[in-house]
Amino acid sequence: MTVVYIGNMTSIRYKKFGKQEYAYEIHSFWNKEAKKSYQKTRYLGIVKDKDKKIFIKKRKEHEKLILDFGDVYALHGFLEKIGFIDMVKKAFGDKTDCLLSLLSYKLCYGSAMRYARTWFEGSYAKMQYKDVDLSSQRISEFLKLIGDEKLQRDFFKEYISKFTNAKNGIIIDTTSLPNQIHIPFSAWGLHGEEIDKQIRFLLVVEKESSMPLFFRYLPGNIVDVSALDKTLKELQKYGIKESFVYLDGGFFSEDNIKDMYSGNMNFLTRLPSNRCLYKDLIKSEARDLESVSNIVRYGKRGLFIKQKKINLFGKEAYAHMVLDPERKGRETKNLLIQTMDEKSENTDLEYDLMNRGIMILVSSFEIKKEEVVPSYYVRQTAEKMFGFSKDDLGLVPVRVHSEESIRGLLFLQFLSLIAFVQLKDKIGKEYTVEDILLTMRNLKCKVYDDEILVSELTKQQKQIEDKIGILLPKKLGI
C-alpha cells in the first residue's frame, strides 16, 4: 500500500487486490470538541495511470439478471394451495426444495435430466428453491435418496390416507419402459411387436378422480398376470381394500380370477382371444350377434352387444360380446386380401370371419348393456396417464444406471404425474398444461440487489391467473 499526499489534509491511498489496483481519496480532519482526528474515505476507481492520477470508476450495475418467472411461481403457488407441498414436506423434510425444483423442471420444461441445471440458472426456481444444486452428480445422489423404500412407504401412507378416496373402483395397467441399463430389473420382454430390454411400470389409478394412486416397477420379463396379486396385497397394506377393479386382458388368468372371487372383489376385464372360452363364445354366439335387439349407441357410434351368463373357472360370471361394425369392415377387408394374396387354403377362415371386429369382456357381476363399453373404457384413464408420463413429462428413454436410481426416478415421475393431473383437472379443457406453463414462462422478472420486479401480465396470463386461483405479485423481496 502506498500513500500520496494532496495538500495538508487530503491523500490518495492505493490498494491492490490480485492484479487490479484501486484508488481511494482519504480526507483527514480534526474534531476540536472530541480532540481527535478522523478520516473520510471516497472511492476514486481503478488505477489507469498512477502518475497522471487517472482513475476509472465503473458504473454500478444494479440489475443482476432476468429470469423466467411465471411458470415456476404459479406452479408452486398452486401446489401449495392444494396441500401438495405440505404433504411432500412430511416425507422429504429438508430435501423438499430439491424435489420441488426437479418436479418444476419436469413439468415446466420436461427434457432430459442433464439439462436441469441449465434450466435452473435461467428460471425463478433458483430464487424459489435456494441452496439447491442441480448438477448431474447431485441429481443422481438425490434420485438414490428418494429411491429409499422406507421414504416411499411413508409417503404413500400419508398420500393415500389424506389425498385420495378410492371408493368407486381402481384401474390397474402396465406399460413398458425400453432402456439399455445393465441391471437385473432391465430384462428382455415384448414391447409392441418387438423384443426390447425394458422395465415394466405398473400404475394404479383411482376411477372417480383419475388420480394416480400407486405405482410399482417390475422386471421386463414379468408378465402382467404375475403382478396382480402382489399389487392388490400392497394396496391393502396402505388401507385400500377396493371392491372393484378394472383390468386389461394382460391380467387375465385362472389364479387372478379365483383370487378376486375369494377376496369378494368385483372386476371387469377383457377376455384374451387365445382362450378356449373366447373361441367357444365366438362359435356359439357370433352368428346372431348382429341383431336388432343387440343394437347399442356409444357416442356417435352404433355397436352390437350380446350378453350371456357363463361359468368362469367354476364361478358365475357374465360375458359381454361387443361388435364394432366399422372395425369389422376394416378387418374383414384386410383378412380377405391377405388370404387371396397368400393363395393358401385357410381352414379357419369361417371362424376368422366371424371373429372380425369383436371384443369380449367378462365381469363378475351383471352390467346393463348400455354401460358395458363406457365401463371398460374407464381403463383408458391409465393409458392417458402413461401418455402424460412419456410425452409430457419425458419418462422415456430411461437413462439411470442403478436400481435405487430407477426407483427414485419413477417415484419422481409419479409425483410429477400427481401434480400434472391436479393442474389439468383445475384448468379444464380450455387449456392444456403445456399451454399454461409455456404462456406463464413468458412472464419474466428482474432481480435487483434488494428486490425482484415482475413484468406486466398479458391478457392471457391474467386469465390463467384467475383460472388456477393464484395471485401473481408485482414485486418480491429477496
How do residues 6-22 score in pLDDT, each as one tens digit?
Answer: 444 678 888 776 667 87
Give the pLDDT score at 2.
44
Q: Is residue 326 part of a domain?
A: yes
H-helix or E-strand spanning residue 4: strand 2-6
Q: Which residue has the higher pLDDT, 359 or 136?
A: 359
pLDDT of residue 306 exceeding 60, the answer is yes
List Cβ neighbours of 263 (8 Å cut-off, separation of 6 or more). Answer: 232
| Omega cis (within 30) before 397 | yes
Tell me the pLDDT tens digit for each residue of 80-104: 999 999 999 998 999 999 999 999 9
Q: Is residue 51 part of a domain?
A: yes
Q: For residues 301-317, b (16+ Cβ closer than 10 Å) or e, as one string?
A: eebbbbbeeeebeeeeb
The C-alpha cell at 453 is 420486479
Q: Is residue 311 part of a domain?
A: yes
The C-alpha cell at 44 is 476514486
Q: Is residue 308 part of a domain?
A: yes
Q: What's the one-letter identity of residue 6?
A: I
Q: Is residue 305 part of a domain?
A: yes
pLDDT of residue 263 exceeding 90, the answer is no
What three-state secondary structure class fits 246?
strand
- Structurally, the chain folds into a number of domains equal to 2
- CA 164-165-168 angle, to 5 degrees, is 135
pLDDT of residue 177 exceeding 70, the answer is yes
- The range of the structural domain enclosing residue 46 comes to 2-56
- The mean pLDDT value for 284-311 works out to 94
Would you say 373 and 298 are in contact if contact means Cβ atoms under 8 Å apart? yes
How far apart (Å, rounded) are the C-alpha atoms in residues 28 and 42? Answer: 12
Q: Is residue 291 part of a domain?
A: yes
DSSP 8-state class, residue 287: G
How far apart (Å, rounded) are the C-alpha atoms in residues 386 and 172? Answer: 12
| Omega cis (within 30) before 184 | no
Q: Is residue 175 part of a domain?
A: no
Please count the other Cβ atoms lying within 10 Å of the Cβ belonging to residue 451.
Answer: 11
H-helix or E-strand spanning residue 393: none
Q: Is residue 351 part of a domain?
A: yes
